[in-house]
Amino acid sequence: MMTGFEVAVVGGGLMGSSAARHLAEAGVSTVVIAAPEPDNWVAGAGPFASHYDSGRITRIISADPVWAELAVRSIGRYDDIAQRSGIEFHDPRGLAWLGLGIEAAVQNSKGRGGSALMVTPEWLYDNTGIKTPATADMQCAFEAAPAGVINPRNLAKAQLVLAEMAGATVITAAADAVQPTTRADDSSGVGISGAFGSVAASRVLLATGAYAADLAGIDLQVRRQLRTTVRIDLGPAPEMPSLIIEPVEHPHINDLYWNPPVRYPDGRVLFKVGCEIEHAPEADNADEIAAWFAGSGDPVEADALIETTRSLLPDARFDQLEIVPCVITRTTHKHPYIGWVDDRIAVALGGNGSSAKSCDELGRLASTLFSDDGWDDPILDAATFEPQLL
Ligand SMILES: Cc1cc2nc3c(=O)[nH]c(=O)nc-3n(C[C@H](O)[C@H](O)[C@H](O)COP(=O)(O)OP(=O)(O)OC[C@H]3O[C@@H](n4cnc5c(N)ncnc54)[C@H](O)[C@@H]3O)c2cc1C
């Protein structure tokens, strides 16, 4: 058994790796138990994650000032993380935002130093090739760099490199159980076990994404939405920004987002589209998540994505398509859950489809739960992130 850690972070995804870095850099003795990505999604039992991809949109612009604040703080630290870890993950290609009544979202960017501006459909088409749908009252905005795209796998890797450089121990394996313990001196602790053996720490942070606090037998109010994305080979990759459009006029999907073409681990350069839908199927447990990742997503959602993308990019060539399953973890208040769920168990999870870009600040906030001063943020209130138990 490895002992003597102040904090064990379970989960080395975007929030866990970020929290581990902030904890270790604050001098807290930290161990991270980070399950590796299954080599084979079809045969693997998991755990699976929301960041198993090569592109995630990054932007400050948001209708929700909390998300805008989280993003501006996180994006401001990207260069430092990349430089010190030696791992690049940020490509600032800009973001096009199409929607109804989007002035407040633009203001949430501008008010924090972001570069979002309202633009005309003609400007958008001339500069990006994106054709604005003729939906009544549809408006367009463009946010230039640092908005664009990040590589979420590389960002998690970079955070873990920095956590290790600051003294954290990283165990690349899944945890099977988390249990409160009482130590020889009567102090309370937590034991975490798995195929790697076991680890003892004073307190634990569960950053386990869609698996919520199940490991500790604690039921959180989360919805694990089983979702579908489409990756497309557009041929010689055109220069284009990330895009979010809401609403789209389609019977099956409410909105659509895309990442510009980015390089995947197999060397291909692919463009990725996804969306929100009204009634997404949900998983109740780890077996249902694994079964979804072993499959090939929802063909109806995929067809809707392809049809809508064709109308937005009339000049693009669609060489090859692949349909990829994924999972999004939603919380009741639409912000991540960051807080205590037990006297020695805290959580940082519930990305709501929006946390990749902002994970560094989410991880920093989670790390403050373990500091002597606790949560002490002048703008972001702890209640905004309070975990909700079933
Ligand atoms: C298709 C899709 C598109 C998205 N697009 C965007 C976007 O454009 N911009 C954006 O900002 N966000 C986006 N998101 C959201 C973002 O990816 C998530 O919010 C983010 O990944 C959540 O981070 P997390 O750390 O909570 O969870 P995850 O990234 O899922 O990480 C959880 C980690 O916990 C590990 N784990 C679980 N159980 C165990 C265990 N028992 N032992 C050890 N480790 C364990 C997993 O292996 C995983 O590494 C998107 C999500 C999806 C699915």
* Torsion, CA 12, CA 13, CA 18, CA 21, rounded to 10: 20
User: Is 177 in the same domain as 283?
Assistant: no
User: Is 311 in the same domain as 242?
Assistant: yes
Whether ligand 1 lies within 6 angstroms of the CB of 47 is answered as yes
On whether residue 74 sits in a domain, the answer given is no
Range of the domain at 29: 2-51+153-221+333-385
On whether residue 318 sits in a domain, the answer given is yes
Predicted TM-score (pTM) of this structure: 0.97
On whether residue 176 sits in a domain, the answer given is yes
Split at pLDDT 50, 70, 90, the class of 158 is very high
User: Is 166 in the same domain as 137?
Assistant: no
Give the residue-averaged pLDDT of 97-104.
95
| Distance from residue 315's CA to the centre of ligand 1 (Å) | 33
Residue 204 near residue 178, CB atoms below 8 Å: yes
On whether residue 359 sits in a domain, the answer given is yes
| Distance from residue 131's CA to the centre of ligand 1 (Å) | 31
Of ligand 1's listed atoms, the one at least distance from the Cα of 355 is 19
| Distance from residue 265's CA to the centre of ligand 1 (Å) | 18
Split at pLDDT 50, 70, 90, the class of 237 is low
Helix ranges (DSSP H) in the chain: 14-25, 65-75, 78-85, 103-110, 121-128, 152-165, 286-294, 299-312, 359-368
What are the φ/ψ torsions at residue 77 (nearest 5 degrees)?
A: -105, 0
Whether ligand 1 lies within 6 angstroms of the CB of 260 is answered as no
Whether ligand 1 lies within 6 angstroms of the CB of 151 is answered as no
Whether ligand 1 lies within 6 angstroms of the CB of 363 is answered as no
Whether ligand 1 lies within 6 angstroms of the CB of 57 is answered as yes
Q: Which of 331, 350, 371 is the last residue in one of the domains? A: 331
User: Is 176 in the same domain as 240?
Assistant: no
Q: How far is CA 106 from CA 96, 113, 241, 243, in A?
A: 11, 11, 17, 14
* Residue of 297, 300, 299, 302 whose CA lies nearest to 225: 297
On whether residue 87 sits in a domain, the answer given is no
Whether ligand 1 lies within 6 angstroms of the CB of 199 is answered as no
99/254 Cα distance (integer angstroms): 11
- From 208, 298, 349, 364, give the residue whose CB has the most ligand 1 atoms within 8 Å, as the site to mutate: 208
* Chain-centre distance for alpha carbon 285: 20
Whether ligand 1 lies within 6 angstroms of the CB of 240 is answered as no
Residue range 289-344, pLDDT digits in tens: 999 999 999 999 999 999 999 888 888 888 778 999 999 999 999 999 999 999 99
Split at pLDDT 50, 70, 90, the class of 30 is very high
Residue with CA nearest ligand 1 atom 45: 11
* Residue of 158, 83, 151 whose CA lies nearest to 356: 151
Task: Name the residue with tokens 């569960």.
Answer: 206
User: Is 157 in the same domain as 211?
Assistant: yes
| Distance from residue 165's CA to the centre of ligand 1 (Å) | 23
| Distance from residue 350's CA to the centre of ligand 1 (Å) | 8
| Distance from residue 337's CA to the centre of ligand 1 (Å) | 13
Residue 135 near residue 92, CB atoms below 8 Å: no
Residue range 251-294, pLDDT digits in tens: 888 899 999 999 999 999 999 999 988 788 999 999 999 999 99
Whether ligand 1 lies within 6 angstroms of the CB of 35 is answered as yes
The CATH number of the domain holding residue 112 is: 3.30.9.10
Report the chain's mean pLDDT, rounded to a whole number: 94
Give the residue-averaged pLDDT of 376-382.
94
Whether ligand 1 lies within 6 angstroms of the CB of 229 is answered as yes
Give the residue-averaged pLDDT of 56-61.
98
Q: Is the pLDDT of residue 368 over 90?
A: yes
Of ligand 1's listed atoms, the one at least distance from the Cα of 350 is 26
25/93 Cα distance (integer angstroms): 30
Split at pLDDT 50, 70, 90, the class of 11 is very high
Structure tokens, 237: 């990759």
Tally the domains of the chain. Answer: 2
Give the residue-averaged pLDDT of 169-176.
97
Whether ligand 1 lies within 6 angstroms of the CB of 12 is answered as yes
Look at 186 and 335; give whichever has higher pLDDT: 335
User: Is 172 in the same domain as 315?
Assistant: no
User: Is 111 in the same domain as 233?
Assistant: yes
Whether ligand 1 lies within 6 angstroms of the CB of 170 is answered as no
On whether residue 177 sits in a domain, the answer given is yes
| Distance from residue 382's CA to the centre of ligand 1 (Å) | 21
On whether residue 170 sits in a domain, the answer given is yes
| Distance from residue 209's CA to the centre of ligand 1 (Å) | 5
- From 355, 357, 360, 362, give the residue whose CB has the most ligand 1 atoms within 8 Å, as the site to mutate: 355
User: Is 213 in the same domain as 301?
Assistant: no
| Distance from residue 52's CA to the centre of ligand 1 (Å) | 8
Q: Report the length, in residues, of the chain.
A: 390
On whether residue 69 sits in a domain, the answer given is no
Give the residue-averaged pLDDT of 179-187.
81
Of ligand 1's listed atoms, the one at least distance from the Cα of 46 is 47
* Residue of 318, 305, 319, 329 whose CA lies nearest to 228: 305
User: Is 209 in the same domain as 338?
Assistant: yes
